[in-house]
Amino acid sequence: MDDPKNEDPKYLKNYIKEHPTNKMAWYLLGRQYAAKGEEGKANYCFAQAGEVYRAFENSAAFTNPLEDEEPAEETADRTEQTVNGRPARWRKIAVVLLLLLLGSHIPFQDDRFERSAAEVAAGDRLGQDAQNPAVETGGSAESAAGGKFGVVYTRPGGGSGSGSSRTNQIADMLNRLYSRSQEKAESLLLADPTWSGDGRWLLWTARTKPIVTAQRPDHAAPDAKLTYYDAAACQCEPADAAAPSAQYVKWQNDELQKLIVRSSAAAYEQQNGKPPEQIEQMAQNYPDNLMTGYTAVMKREFEVWLAERKNGQSATSGGEPQPGQPSGTAPAAANPGNGELLPASEALKEPLRIMVDITTHRLAVVSGNVLLRSYPVGLGGDRTPEGEFQISEKVRNPNGRDNGTFGSRGMTLSDTLYAIHGTNQPSSIGQDKSLGCIRMLKPDVEELFDMVPIGTKVTIGRDLPLPDETLRAAEPLKLPSVSDETNPNKVYKWLD
């Protein structure tokens, strides 16, 4: 028999191009690459071969990166025996015979399937970082529903138009899943979010497309399991995306609540010179109602934040703006087109801020490059002040009822006569009919009131780099009220 190192894999490449779901062909191509010592390419092919590879090899190509099971010498000996020795040749013969018996003839043709340098590098990276994951292309996503769930986003321009970019993204996601330095999620979802046209904003409530989940390996299943929801990413019949989509919506809601806690804790520390010791300190009666209330998710997050704070670690959110970014300014556009991922922990790193664009009558709630909400508002044209403010007071039913001139909620701006409040004139939204205040529809102002704490920074200006469209959640955020946030002893005289 010829030395497998001298065999040309070109005909297999061509065959796989025309039959991308033939796992046996992927396995044979991987064996040829392994014989030539091209381990990165081999392991990429073995990952595509999935259960065919495991059936014939009866062992993993890589040790689990979470474990140190065997010394290097023993691994090297085994590789020599299975690649260059007689058992590997006989196994290859058996595979070819089985392939022919199955009626899958592989034509010997000239090269018509040369991978680009980027694709080769992607394959090498997947082989090195992914540690030969098992691939699941159909069925339920319930395996990803248990345990801790994390999300990594693609940046604008990456992945959708290039197979090699997508491969790089999946390899990067797997590397994050395996990394000991990362927060240990049981599974990670790679998702294509909707970005604004200029690539500046990740639109939080807009359509997000699930691509693939990777489930962390364990002793029972030593390989990471990939479940694809996008046919283009795997050239396969994808799994139903209903389960990960529902899980993503729940995850989004939890992440927003966590961000509220971290933003509120940072605001409390800014005002009092020390961090809060209990979450109840931030949800007291007016005027100390820094935030409206809290859920079980928020209470757990506060305990995490406090532990990090006491251990001298910087909290994952709630700090000052990133270096080089002045307070109140819009973040720069995200780096486009390089397939780089944006972990959710980095996306929601900064405290909540409000931006009001006088030109477009738009109020946006943002965190870093993430645009969480965008509401239409009524303004006063030149009478609405421009500049930097902060929410200095939050009051429920400022007129003593929820249908007064100022609606059901009001938030004073920097102890002035200007405020963000509701209105009993909903037709004025989108127009310049106020005396300078910012009017909002009842459901919008009530959600904003629950979302942003006292101390939230507010930027008011013209032609701010905000999208024109309205962005609301399918179900508005509503926190349980745990305190009395009314102020019946004051008659508010905001410049409506």
Instruction: List the catalytic residues.
Output: 421, 437
Tell me which residue has tokens 């799994």: 239
What are 472's two structure tokens? 């609301």
CB 365 within 8 A of CB 203: no
Instruction: State the amino acid at position 346 in one-letter form.
Output: E
Start-end of H helices in 273-369: 296-310, 344-347
- Cα separation, 164 vs 235, whole angstroms: 13
- Cα separation, 157 vs 340, whole angstroms: 10
The residues with which 395 forms a beta bridge, in sequence order, are 410
- Cα separation, 286 vs 232, whole angstroms: 54
